[in-house]
Each structure stands twice: as C-alpha cells, then as structure tokens.
Amino acid sequence: MKVCIYGAGAIGGWIGVKLAQAGCDVSVVARGAMLDALNAQGLRLIEKDATHAVKVAASADPAALGEQDLVVVAVKVPAMREVAAHIAPLVNARTTVLTAMNGVLWWFCDGLSEPFAGKRLESVDPDGAIAAAIPCAQMVGCVVYASCFTEAPGVVWHRQCMALILGEANGKPGERAQDLVSLFGKAGFEASLSPQI
C-alpha cells in the first residue's frame, strides 16, 4: 500500500513509522528542516528505549510522490487550506484521506441529521475550498489517543497509548474505514471503528 503522510510531526511521524514497519510504502510531504532531515536520515521513532528508523521518500512537491492509496493528513487545522491547495497530485478516485488532526474539521456536519445535515462550517472552510479539494466520500476521520512529541525534525518520541478510533466522515458504514482498522491493527495500533466519528 502506498501511504503519504502530510504533516510528519509527532502524530504523523508516529503513524508513518508504524505503517512503514508494517510493510507500507511510506512517503512524506515536507519542507525546510523536516525535508532535509528526512532525506538525510529517514523518519525515526523512539519508544520503549528503542529507536526505529525507516527510509521514506520525501518531497516538498506532492506531484513528485504521485497518487497514493492512503493520505494521512496530520497538520493543524489552520494549515488545511494550504494542504487542500496542493493535495490533488496524491489523490485519485480510490484514495482514502485520513484526518488525524486537532480541532473541528470541515466535514463535521456530514452524515449528521437535521438541523445539521448539509451544513458547512464556514469558520473552518469559509469558501468551501477544502471540501472541494477532498471529497467527503473519500474521507475517514481518526481520533488519536497517544502521547507523542517531536524531539527534532524527523524524530518522534512515543510515550504511551496506541489507540485510534476511525470512522467514515459521511457517517455511513463503509469498507474504507474497516480496511483501515485492519491495516492499523496489523501495524500494532489499537484500532477500532466508530459508527459516527
């Protein structure tokens, strides 16, 4: 499986290393010191007094990484407009986009009943650019229960907890989220499925 991490900080880096260890072909969209570190030494994870290093393809240009099976978006919510403007080369009709982010996301009302059905969170996506760039039908939400922090660019410490709760952004049961629960389980996460993420 081709997996791209968009935002390889504490959570994105942790997920990226674990998925690479499970056999996924992991790449990272990065820039500046993070890009330099990933190209020089790969992505590193420190947990239980052991350091795990994985080689990843890294580029500031998503087009250089190509279409993916899974894109894990792990940026802060204010960075989503920039991600939306550049994510297209990573995504095709079969790509799943997983959000592992802080805050209320632009798709929050999708799958809810009235009076919220069809509403857009204008405070998060005022002009609809994010929703237009990433179709809700391809979105899977993720709640992360883990203690991770970055020591330096490309170096993540994982302290405790391994839980990920996943669910379809549109609120409908589907294979995308179930397939990810299986994948993350194989990668060592405590992954579970929520009927309404």
For the chain, the average pLDDT equals 92
Domain ranges of the chain: 2-193
Is it the case that residue 114 has pLDDT exceeding 90? no
Per-residue confidence (pLDDT) for residue 105, from 0 to 100: 79
Looking at residue 115, what is its pLDDT? Answer: 87
pLDDT of residue 67: 98
> Which pTM was predicted?
0.93
Predicted confidence (pLDDT) at residue 104 exceeds the cutoff of 90: no
What is the predicted pLDDT for the residue at 49?
83
pLDDT at position 119 over 90: no
Higher per-residue confidence, 186 vs 106: 186
Write down the pLDDT at residue 137.
85
Structure tokens at 134: 């990433």
Residue pLDDT, tens place only, 140-182? 999 999 999 999 999 999 999 999 999 988 887 788 999 999 9
| Closest residue by Cα to residue 111 from 191, 180, 167, 178 | 167
Residue 102, pLDDT > 90, answer no
CATH of the domain spanning 2-193: 3.40.50.720
> Token pair for residue 96?
């799943």
Q: What is the pLDDT of residues 12-43, one digit of tens each?
A: 999 999 999 999 999 999 999 999 999 999 99
Partner residues linked to 72 by β-bridges: 5, 98
Query: Which is it for strands 70-73 and 57-59: parallel, antiparallel or unpaired?
Result: unpaired
